[in-house]
Amino acid sequence: MRPKKSETTGEGDLFRARLDQIINPKHELVQLAGRIDWAWIDQEIAPLHSGNGRPGVETRFMIGLLLLKSIYRLSDEAVCERWVENPYFQFFTGEEFFQHEFPHERSGLSHWRKRLGDKLELLLAESLRVAHEAGALRSQDLKRVTVDTTVQPKAITFPTDAKLLHAAIKGLNRLASRHGVRLRQSYSRVAKAAAMMAGRYAHAKQFKRHQRQLRTLRSRLGRIIRDIRRKIEGQPALEEAFALPLGRASQIRSQQQRQRGWKLYSFHAPEVECIGKGKASAPYEFGVKASVVTTNRRAPGGQFVLHAKALPDNPYDGHTLGAVVDATEVLTGCVIERAYVDKGYRGHDAQNPRRVFISGQKRGVFGVIKRELKRRSAIEPVIGHMKTNGHLGRCYLKGRQGDAANVVLSAVGYNFRRILAWLKTLLLAILSALGRALAITSLAKAAC
């Protein structure tokens, strides 16, 4: 059910301290909270609520927590812990009095991310609106953009054959224990020792011994698969519960290191893909490809992210450009005049190909276009900041839905960090101007 609207009374309380009497009203988080249109966000999210049941958690509270988590690169647990001890966090989420305990469950953040889904782009659009209203972003900056792709790594270990086989054995044992399926033998200690020795033999380049340990792991995994299938035969509920895990385990057992075609790179995260971007430091990365669109020209508040989206199934960059440009225009409400891309977008499918300029292109590149094309590489530090200071560097959320949400929230957090820096700069400029005015006034009085 849609949550009730929280109303600020403005009255005091004998046993609780009002937040507006504790915090500094000039703090950047306080200024940002006053600029965000919380009522519009609540109105857009309202159709996602059910018409029945008890009232949900206030929209501003949960959206504020998601924004704080993205801005300060915190986990769900960490943002809840800091909320209890930080009055600015509490004021940002709409609280009137200082709270000494977290009022809701931490799992609410996970539920809200799943509920919002594609609506998370509303937060990205709101960040651009706030930046434009604060003067950090101009309308003309939205017309010329830079588009690039990167890899959002998943929170998994490097998928060697030994690690995958060992993970499948442990996963099936956990599932069997949970459902009360008693196995003939678990092979836990044998599999752990074999996986450890396989890594040592591979490091020592003793590949015959390494292959022997892999055969041991494969045979033990096969025994567990067959044992489970015998025990759950004729029980529809257990067969349904074990269908996907057994399928993944069979795939891991049958696949080879250098085989072509689809492979499984994680037992608990089957959506992980192997992506090679040609980097010397990381020839292969395991996660999902993500598209990022930024302003080409540096706005007064810096470069802002205009659009961000996960691209599952590892598509060719050029085949995604048309859809990404169209989605950016819908999000910003501004027609893109020029788009600058790297050589990975050759053979793109943009609707207006003459307005797309590729790095290294000579034909039609002169004057302003030549200068703007030189700024194409400025998107790289933006992606680096999203990975270092945001959550794009490693995704801990589950499934493809978690990958998509993490990309958008990383862009939202980056934009709001730029806005906070811009608000702090404005405050310092105002204070310095006031200081100069006071100094001139005092000098004039002294002269008189």
Q: Which of 263-294 are b and which e, b meaning 16 or more Cβ less than 10 Å from the residue's Cβ?
A: bbbbbebebbbebeeeeeeeeebbbbbbbbbb
Per-residue pLDDT at 448? 67
Cβ atoms within 10 Å, residue 31? 17
Pairing mode, strands 338-341 and 144-153: parallel
R_g over Cα of the chain: 27
Query: Closest Cα to residue 416, out of 125, 110, 84, 62?
Result: 125
C-alpha 2/C-alpha 121 separation (Å) is 20
Residues of the chain with confidence (pLDDT) below 50:
none
Q: HSE (CB half, 13 Å, CA atoms) of 332? A: 29
Residues 64/112/171/194 CA torsion (nearest 10 deg): -30
Where would I find the beta strands (DSSP E) of 234-304? Answer: 273-275, 285-295
pTM of the predicted model, to two decimals? Answer: 0.92
What's residue 6's pLDDT? 66
Is-contact 213 194, C-beta < 8 A? yes
How many Å apart are CA 373 and CA 371, to the nearest integer?
5
**Cβ count near 370 (within 10 Å):** 13
In whole angstroms, what separates CA 252 from the centre of its chain? 28
Which DSSP category does 44 fall into?
Answer: H
Q: Tell me if residue 310 falls in helix, strand or coil.
A: strand
Query: And the tokens for 209?
Result: 């011994």
Q: Report pLDDT for 7.
A: 65
